[in-house]
Structure 1
Amino acid sequence: MPKQNFNEKLIARLKTNPDFVDESGELLPAAVKDHAWKLNHDLIKFLLSDPEIKSTFFDEIDGHWVFNHNTFIDYINEKNFLANSYTQFRNKIGLNIDGKFLPERGEVSLVWPYKDCVLEGGQTKEAEKRKEIFFNEILAQDEINQMFDPKVLTNWKRHTTEGEQDVTDIQRDDNGTIRENLIIKGNNLIALHTLKQQFRGQVKLIYIDPPYNTKSAANTFAYNNTFNHSAWLTFMKNRLEVAKSVLAEDGILVVAIDHHELFYLGALLDEIFSMENRMGIISVVNNPAGRQDAKFFPTAHENMLFYAKNIEITELGRLSLTDEKRRDFKYEDIYGKYKLNGFMRRGDNVRKEDRPNLHYPIFYNEITKQTYLERQSDDDIKIFPIDDQGIEKCWRWGRDTFALRKAKYIEVKKIKTRYVIYSKLYEDEYEGEKAKTVWNKPYYSGQTATQGIKTLFGSRVFSYPKSPYVIRDVLEITTKPGDIILDFFAGSATTAAVAHKMNRQWITVEQMNYIETITVERLKKVVGKKVKEEGRLLEDIDYDTGGISKSVNWQGGGDFIYCELMQYNQAYMDKIQVAQSSEELVALWRDIAENSFLNWYVNAEVPEEAVNDFTALGDLEAQKHLLAELLDKNQLYVNLSEIEDADFAVSEEDKVLNSEFYEIR
């Protein structure tokens, strides 16, 4: 049978699986390859069901058929596998090299989201799902020249309680470390490389909530033919490797993830940070009722992976008192509020024979309320550590410690006919409790986070935000005031908002356009603004009082700097993303060919036959994707080394601020 007929049969059969086609019924090669890499049973059974397909992609060994997944994937990758207008256009314009699509040769993953639908206000139920679709391109190492060089930063603005102001200087401490809260707009991989020179080894905590790469409602990474499992891992690997370089030696990385990529991400983190530096995995119950649309187990939690850069010198703090725990400190004396703990030991090794030196009598005088180690009068009551079953046990302290601490820390109560000895724990001496592996407080729920966003903005402008209380507790056990926090998936700015209220320095990055309407606006509300009365500024500040504000006594204040990676080809990416028609894209293509940096292997002309193939695609998303591939990704943003190039028209103000940021003398 001719190869083309075999192609047609294979494609037609693959299209019968709904997992392998998009909404228009077109085959998704990435989804097919993803199933092949995972040795998916359904795919293998399907391939075995046809004799010709079986003989092509399986080897017979001693009567057993073994799936040759490398042969199958190479076949899917072959440029003539989908011999349609899409392939024809790529061939004519130069996007196929050595018989393979560019993504198959690549090692660096860049992502451009081009659509982000925001929920309308006034809804009574979740009528829409947030949808983000991504242009993903994986680049080979030989195509990366200047991509990771520092970039020119532009559009500088400082936000304070007195409103937006010009940036005139950049604050540093005595060690030369930048001491500014920063929000940067741009591709986060490139932004991380821009930041690494100034913040290498300075960041105490990196907290990220990356796209999950699932098909679920909570997905923030659409599963389509431009992003698959292996590309997602590449995407994460690139960012985590450079992020590690900015972590302090005693710094900690925390990654939030659901179960779909948990094991693969864990293996990746073990590779980058080493298994020995894995501190633990926390389950955060963010939906106590569970997602009822799950096929098997309704998902009620997500995970946080904790990794140290150097676990030998890393310390983890404790959680401070919650309002619920604070109510336990219901007694008070001259030393302050306290709670009572039984003075008799509980748990293992608590019997007299286990610790005989901790088994001794304590004498109590009911009139004077004093305790002694020796009898002082006939009225003294002798008390031994004996439980309700008559088992002889031990006290918590030895005799010497008891003698030193009893005046302040020991209290005796009569319970029915027995006298019970308690030790006092004062609220101001409470060291906190160790964070457990399950976090299930009600305020950790996604509903709490969503309600907070609705209160701030008047509507649900962002789907699936993190609870600020989760971030608060992460920061509490990993950082101290003044430490630097980095989140390069800013989203609705929960991490930055919480860090600001807890007096931590923060850096956050976002490439989506909602950075100006949601991310920045939320942080402006956190800082607050001075109240005006009859045109006169008062000392009062109107600030965000929601979320953790009450628990940390937030009163508003502080400031932050906003800036952007200066665009070049990225400006064309933005235009591609908002285009509404094929005609608009063709016009943009001609503009790109004349005025932008194209990939070296792309035909700089715009041949009419290629235009015809481009138009014949009929799929606006596919056309946008193809047009984006023409652009040289080394020139997405203006390199710092080209700041004096007149073609880029960098302003004098930007030159001064970049010199100060990068310490150029």
Structure 2
Amino acid sequence: MDYEQLPRAALVRMLQEHDAALADAGKNGIVMSYTGRAAPWQIIRQVKPKLHRIIKKVSFGEETAQSENEIWDGENLSAMVTLYKYRGQVDLVVTDPPYNTGEDFRYNDKWDKDPNDPDLGDVVPKDDGSKHSKWLRFMTPRIWMMREMLKPGGVMAICIDHRELFRLGMLMDEIFGEDNRLAIINWQKSAAARPDNRHVSTATEYVLVYGKDISRVRTASLTRGEADNKRYSNPDNDPGNDWREGNLTAKSYSAKDDYGIQSPFTGVVHYPAGNGAWRHPKRNIKGWLAGWGTDYEERDIGDGRGKALMVKKQLPDMVSPEVSKKALARLKEDNWPFVWFGRDGQGRPRVKTYLEQIKKGKVPVTYWADADLASDIIADIDIGTASWDYTESGRSADGVSELTAVVGQGHGFTTVKPLKLMKKIIQLWCRPDGIVMDAFAGSGTTGHAVLELNKEEEATRRFILIEQGNTDKGDHYARTLTAERIRRVISGDWATAKKEPMPGGFRFIELKREKIDAEAVNTLAREEMIDLLLTSYWDKAEKAKSYLRRLPAGKHRHLFAVNAKDEGFFLIWDAPDKPSALDKAAFREIAEEARQAGLAARYHVYASIAPYTGSSVEFYKIPDRVLEHIGFNQRQDSFNNESGADA
């Protein structure tokens, strides 16, 4: 490369990216290298926000509900760049990208030359020698952008199978940082062995879960059910109500809590299990042991550990019949001590775990086929590597059946993520009023899961779905399948039966090929301008992030939308070649429209110029403020244009 021919801005950028790569390598411990690799931020900076329009006939629900959810039809990297208002606002990205099976992954090799080319490209066949590097080149900028969309405490959960598991894991480690890995979830996609491998059947797939900043991530408890409580009972009429056996041994080691405890029933001296130590203070344990009818003392028994808790005047491994008789008599009474030795007195020391004192939910920390194992673990334990049985997460076959039940036969999808899996992930990592995004929305399982959870929990989660795929006939899945499934779920008009409607709605937004700039904005017709404003508005100053409710077209001269505060939004714009000025006459018309609509006396006005202003007017200049709302920066755009003049 002839560096002398590069403009100064390009040279500065190359140095910055080189330094950033070195810093990332030092911080994250890994930087992947593959054929055709380019820094993801370098690609993303060249991707331009696109013009887009709301397709009213595909959108569904009343206006307020439509404004809360979005389904985008278009290339996902361009769509995420266009969704600038949501950058840093998404709670959970959950997505199911192409697995590179030789049947599902299309690669457009123009991307490294023109990131704004929206074409899908050709399917990458199984025998393509560069299929893995192509997949990485495709995924890298998208994962980077999905991370950019997350809140500081946001989480990304990405589905994958064995074909690209290791490469995806390394890529996620590089972009998110290994320390921000929350979990590697192994979920059972089929209940029986599959004849897809002559050595080992691949009956499972994976979900890699990463936090943007693990110190700020909060993992919710799962809702407890009757099965979680079935092992709780009250055999001793404890006034604390139902309880079950709990472990007296802690996972962490402490020398002062590593000592023997003598059983008053058998005289056997018991020690903490494994390499652990007793989890409660010694003085407390001593008091609980005395509840068995005899006094305890601390004594060195020569075992190389701390002083043991021994029954007074008794030798190790034996107690007198009198001591044993007292303990057995106490066992026949009600309300046993907190430290006990089994229902027959012959076991190790353990504690009571009370149902009313444990968390209201269960923490997802162990193999979920046995729900009881996860019930009593207390807060902030790393999930690590977990296995989810199909009874917990559903099967791929369930996902296909669920889709067929909603939209009918002939959808053409043979693998669909089950609702159970998606609902479980959303429950764990998206707050009840948060935002879920899926950049590979496919058949719309993520949106369906959000709607079901909202109804079950009376929650208000929102979704953003992006889908680009086409059928063999050239029909867009976003319109014919994704939006159709969500419409049927909301209306209750399933293909197989009439179901109870669910609250919700969505805007269907078509991403156009033309990029957004000042010239493009200035050539928009009125309804196109309104579409752009509705999808770009996002008031970050609001405690509860607000968005606009569109009013019926043609009802007002200027008023086109209302926010959550009942403040009107007005557009002085008839056509690109017509005047667009907020003057005194236009303001009188605006004030009268607001009065007739019963709106607050604060006016948000879009126009090219504003000869008239006032304390009650919030003026947005066209095209400058429109571009600002969608994240377009003219100076930055010039900086990214390497063919421009030297700075």
Give the TM-score, by structure 1 length: 0.51
1:271-304 CA-partner distances (Å, limit 9, x unpaired): 1111111112110110232331214211010011
**For residue 151 of structure 1, what is the amino acid of its counterpart?**
K
1:202 is aligned to 2:89: yes
1:527 is aligned to 2:490: yes
Q: CA deviation at 1:657?
A: 2.7
Pick closer, same or farther for the CA change 1:106–1:653 going to 2, 3 Å.
farther
1:385 is aligned to 2:335: no
1:280 is aligned to 2:183: yes
Pick closer, same or farther for the CA change 1:108–1:661 going to 2, 3 Å.
same
Pick closer, same or farther for the CA change 1:544–1:440 going to 2, 3 Å.
farther
Pick closer, same or farther for the CA change 1:432–1:268 going to 2, 3 Å.
same
1:433 is aligned to 2:363: yes
**For residue 444 of structure 1, what is the amino acid of its counterpart?**
G
Paired residues for 1:189-588 under 5 Å: 189-195=77-83, 197-215=84-102, 222-224=123-125, 228-322=131-225, 324-325=227-228, 340-342=243-245, 345=248, 352=261, 356=282, 357-358=284-285, 359-362=288-291, 385-387=340-342, 393-394=348-349, 396=351, 424-426=354-356, 430-436=360-366, 437-442=386-391, 444-459=394-409, 461=411, 462-503=413-454, 504-512=461-469, 513-528=476-491, 556-567=502-513
Q: Which residue of the partner structure matches residue 656 of structure 1?
A: 530
Pick closer, same or farther for the CA change 1:441–1:390 going to 2, 3 Å.
same
Distance in 2 of aligned mates of 1:170 and 1:441: 34
Contact 1:281 1:305 in 2 (8 A): yes
Q: CA deviation at 1:323?
A: 6.0
Pick closer, same or farther for the CA change 1:496–1:351 going to 2, 3 Å.
farther
Aligned pair partner of 1:185 in 45, 53, 73:
73
Contact 1:201 1:247 in 2 (8 A): yes
Distance in 2 of aligned mates of 1:280 and 1:257: 13
Distance in 2 of aligned mates of 1:337 and 1:555: 43
Pick closer, same or farther for the CA change 1:331–1:181 going to 2, 3 Å.
farther
Pick closer, same or farther for the CA change 1:394–1:262 going to 2, 3 Å.
same
1:48-82 CA-partner distances (Å, limit 9, x unpaired): xxxxxxxxxxxxxxxxxxxxxx9xx9xxxxxxxxx
1:61-116 CA-partner distances (Å, limit 9, x unpaired): xxxxxxxxx9xx9xxxxxxxxxxxxxxxxxxxxxxxxxxxxxx867499xxxxxxx
Give the TM-score, by structure 2 length: 0.53
Q: Which residue of the partner structure matches residue 584 of structure 1?
A: none
Distance in 1 of aligned mates of 2:98 and 2:535: 30
Contact 1:491 1:519 in 2 (8 A): yes
Pick closer, same or farther for the CA change 1:425–1:389 going to 2, 3 Å.
closer
**For residue 659 of structure 1, what is the amino acid of its counterpart?**
L
Contact 1:449 1:467 in 2 (8 A): yes
Pick closer, same or farther for the CA change 1:226–1:182 going to 2, 3 Å.
farther
**For residue 352 of structure 1, what is the amino acid of its counterpart?**
I
1:494-522 CA-partner distances (Å, limit 9, x unpaired): 01111122231110101121221210011
Paired residues for 1:603-618 under 5 Å: none
Contact 2:90 2:154 in 1 (8 A): yes
Pick closer, same or farther for the CA change 1:640–1:661 going to 2, 3 Å.
farther
Q: CA deviation at 1:238?
A: 0.9
SS at match of 2:402: helix
Pick closer, same or farther for the CA change 1:514–1:662 going to 2, 3 Å.
closer
Aligned-residue identity in percent: 25
Pick closer, same or farther for the CA change 1:428–1:528 going to 2, 3 Å.
farther
Contact 2:98 2:104 in 1 (8 A): no
Distance in 2 of aligned mates of 1:291 and 1:213: 19
Pick closer, same or farther for the CA change 1:524–1:303 going to 2, 3 Å.
same
Distance in 2 of aligned mates of 1:329 and 1:146: 57
Q: CA deviation at 1:218?
A: 8.1
**For residue 362 of structure 2, what is the amino acid of its counterpart?**
G
1:177-223 CA-partner distances (Å, limit 9, x unpaired): xxx2111110001101111x2012111111111001124x8879843
Q: Which residue of the partner structure matches residue 155 of structure 1?
A: 54
SS at match of 1:243: helix
1:553-583 CA-partner distances (Å, limit 9, x unpaired): x86112111111123xxxxxxxxxxxxxxxx
Question: Any stretches of 5+ residues in structure 2 without a counterpart?
Answer: 1-32, 108-122, 252-257, 263-270, 272-277, 294-326, 367-385, 455-460, 470-475, 538-624, 627-647
Distance in 1 of aligned mates of 2:496 and 2:354: 35
Contact 2:433 2:462 in 1 (8 A): yes
**CA-atom RMSD, angstroms?**
4.4
Pick closer, same or farther for the CA change 1:382–1:439 going to 2, 3 Å.
closer
**For residue 429 of structure 2, what is the amino acid of its counterpart?**
T
Distance in 2 of aligned mates of 1:640 and 1:170: 27
Pick closer, same or farther for the CA change 1:318–1:169 going to 2, 3 Å.
closer
Contact 1:212 1:258 in 2 (8 A): yes
Distance in 2 of aligned mates of 1:337 and 1:363: 18
1:337-362 CA-partner distances (Å, limit 9, x unpaired): 98541368478779626655324244
Distance in 2 of aligned mates of 1:390 and 1:145: 67
**For residue 360 of structure 1, what is the amino acid of its counterpart?**
L
Q: Which residue of the partner structure matches residue 43 of structure 1?
A: none
The count of residues paired between Structure 1 and Structure 2 equals 393
Distance in 1 of aligned mates of 2:462 and 2:335: 57
Distance in 2 of aligned mates of 1:466 and 1:205: 17
Q: Which residue of the partner structure matches residue 582 of structure 2?
A: none
**For residue 488 of structure 1, what is the amino acid of its counterpart?**
A
Distance in 2 of aligned mates of 1:288 and 1:502: 25
Distance in 1 of aligned mates of 2:390 and 2:437: 25
Contact 2:80 2:145 in 1 (8 A): yes
Pick closer, same or farther for the CA change 1:467–1:660 going to 2, 3 Å.
closer
Q: CA deviation at 1:148?
A: 1.7
Question: Any stretches of 5+ residues in structure 1 without a counterpart?
Answer: 1-69, 74-103, 110-139, 172-179, 365-372, 397-421, 530-541, 568-636
Pick closer, same or farther for the CA change 1:451–1:392 going to 2, 3 Å.
closer
**For residue 202 of structure 1, what is the amino acid of its counterpart?**
Q
1:418-459 CA-partner distances (Å, limit 9, x unpaired): xxxx65414996321324300013351111111111211221
Structure 1, 247-256 or 427-436: larger mean CA deviation: 427-436
Pick closer, same or farther for the CA change 1:107–1:283 going to 2, 3 Å.
same
Contact 1:490 1:519 in 2 (8 A): yes
Q: CA deviation at 1:327?
A: 5.6
Distance in 1 of aligned mates of 2:438 and 2:335: 61
Pick closer, same or farther for the CA change 1:350–1:492 going to 2, 3 Å.
farther
1:228-280 CA-partner distances (Å, limit 9, x unpaired): 21111011101011111111000111111111111111111111111111112
Contact 1:285 1:439 in 2 (8 A): yes
